[in-house]
């Protein structure tokens, strides 16, 4: 059976590629959680810092999440630039998205563990939860059939066939 046989027509985009697995988006949300909290906090009209202070009681933890989110920003740009007119270097990086994401998650979690052990900041339960979530997301991407197909294909421009026009008979 063909690997794409289990997917319906709605599962493909306009470039005839399988639509991206949600695991790509969940990984980006995990890596960019500091930026997401910052944007959500700025949209709160009453108290702009309350949401950040609730998730990041120490301000250094919030700033650390912004720094460790930089690899996630690069992956976000890679995901956004995934289109037929992309440059060759981008096309060569796309199959390595899982590897780059694994490195980004590892960097993110290692900074948080270092913050916990060296600076004595943060809660162990929160850190364990982040580690479990990060590991689960990586495992989900690695075992997802859809994500494997997504990493193997890259959008290409599809030429439209000219429509057959009927010639009207003159009366």
Give the model confidence (pLDDT) of 35-67 as tens digits: 988 888 888 767 777 777 777 777 888 888 899
CA distance 19 to 155: 10
Q: What is the pTM of this model?
A: 0.81
At 12 the three-state DSSP class reads strand
CA distance 122 to 57: 8
């Amino acid at each position: 059976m063909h690997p794409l046989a289990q997917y319906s027509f709605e599962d493909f985009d306009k470039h005839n590629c399988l639509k991206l697995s949600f695991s790509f988006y969940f990984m980006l949300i995990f890596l960019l959680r500091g930026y997401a909290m910052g944007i959500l906090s700025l949209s709160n009209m009453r108290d702009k810092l309350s949401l950040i202070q609730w998730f990041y009681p120490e301000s250094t933890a919030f700033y650390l999440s912004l720094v460790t989110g930089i690899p996630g920003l690069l992956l976000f740009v890679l995901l956004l630039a995934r289109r037929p007119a992309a440059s060759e270097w981008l096309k060569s990086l796309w199959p390595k998205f899982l590897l780059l994401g694994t490195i980004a998650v590892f960097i993110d979690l290692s900074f948080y563990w270092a913050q916990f052990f060296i600076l004595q900041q943060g809660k162990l339960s929160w850190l364990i939860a982040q580690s479990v979530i990060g590991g689960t997301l990586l495992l989900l991407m690695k075992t997802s059939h859809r994500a494997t197909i997504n990493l193997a294909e890259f959008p290409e421009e599809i030429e439209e066939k000219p429509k057959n026009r009927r010639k009207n008979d003159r009366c």
